[in-house]
């Protein structure tokens, strides 16, 4: 039987990598631009500023990757433990598990007879898969993939960080702070709009939020840099 092409655009399959990528890129832009603005405000030379920026990019990408790997690995450990427990319960008490699955389908609106029949057929086909999906809420779409998540975070952080850094390479020190902050705010706003559209969220609110918070972080760091530069 030829299955008709699925015309609706569902965004769930994008959630995993979209969330990690936008988070990483945002972080890359804000933390590197803040670093550059703060160090430039403390009157460090151009070469020293760029070295700081490159070090910030590498350090940030590594810490994002490590953090994401650890958090997604622990999620993956939890999922595996849940599946092992479910497998054991299916082996020791299949009758109870069948009742449990049927009651879930009754809760979703099926008649008790139909729910029992559906549970019988689904458990005959793939008992663990049916329980994982309908009882534990696990699906292949959002399964924990630590390496993928870590790589996506590191890469998107590095791409994000490279934006203010490349601006800093071509900008004279005299106007470094306003130019780096201005260019980074423009990048943040653009990223906010793209990710809101991709995720189906309201664009205006998303861009305003990311621009305001990013601007606040960069402005405060530049201020601290200026104060620190004046003291030292
Ligand atoms: Zn179960």
Tens digit of each residue's pLDDT (9 = 90 or more) over 219-230:
888 888 888 877
Same domain, 158 and 70: yes
Same domain, residue pair 33 and 122: no
- Give the Cα separation of 86 and 77 in Å (integer): 14
Name the pTM for this structure. 0.76
Looking at the fold, whether 192 and 174 belong to one and the same domain comes out as yes
Q: How far is the CA of 117 from the centre of ligand 1 (A)?
A: 16
CA 140 to ligand 1 center in whole angstroms: 18
- Residues of the chain below pLDDT 70: 1-16, 139-144, 232
Query: Does residue 70 share a domain with residue 159?
Result: yes
**How many angstroms is it from 21 CA to the middle of ligand 1?**
34
Residues 48/49/55/61 CA torsion (nearest 10 deg): -170
Which residue shows structure tokens 């990528």? 21
Number of domains the chain is built from: 2
Look up the domain containing 129 and give its range.
84-134
- 176-199 helix and 146-170 helix, angle to the nearest 10 degrees: 150
8: in domain: no
Q: How far is the CA of 15 from the centre of ligand 1 (A)?
A: 26
- pLDDT on residue 85: 96
d(CA 136, ligand 1 centre) in Å: 8
Instruction: Indicate the average pLDDT of the chain.
Output: 88
d(CA 230, CA 232): 6
CA-angle at 22, arms to 187 and 189, nearest 5°:
25
Residues 178 and 126 in one domain: no
The values of phi and psi at residue 129, to 5°, are -60, -45
**Ligand 1 geometric centre to CA of 216 (Å):** 48
Predicted confidence (pLDDT) per residue in 21-33, tens digit: 888 999 999 999 9
Q: What is the pLDDT of residue 67?
A: 92
For residue 141, the CA-to-ligand 1 centroid distance in Å is 20
């Amino acid at each position: 039987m030829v299955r008709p092409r699925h015309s609706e655009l569902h965004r769930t399959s994008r959630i995993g990598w979209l969330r990690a990528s936008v988070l990483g890129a945002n972080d890359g832009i804000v933390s590197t631009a803040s670093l550059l603005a703060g160090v430039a405000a403390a009157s460090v030379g151009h070469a020293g500023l760029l070295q700081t920026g490159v070090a910030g990019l590498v350090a940030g990408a590594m810490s994002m990757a490590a953090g994401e790997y650890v958090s997604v690995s622990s999620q993956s450990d939890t999922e595996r433990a849940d599946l092992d427990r479910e497998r054991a319960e299916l082996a020791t008490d299949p009758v109870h598990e069948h009742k449990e699955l049927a009651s879930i389908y009754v809760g979703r609106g099926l008649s008790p007879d139909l729910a029992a029949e559906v549970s019988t057929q689904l458990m005959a086909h793939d008992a663990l898969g049916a329980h994982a999906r309908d009882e534990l809420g696990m699906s292949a779409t959002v399964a924990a993939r630590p390496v993928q998540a870590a790589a996506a975070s590191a890469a998107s952080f590095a791409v994000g960080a490279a934006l203010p850094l490349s601006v800093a390479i071509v900008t004279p020190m005299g106007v470094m702070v306003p130019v780096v902050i201005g260019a980074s705010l423009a990048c943040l706003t653009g990223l906010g709009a793209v990710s809101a559209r991709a995720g189906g969220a309201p664009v205006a609110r998303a861009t305003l939020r990311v621009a305001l918070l990013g601007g606040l972080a960069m402005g405060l760091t530049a201020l601290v840099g200026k104060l620190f530069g004046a003291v030292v």
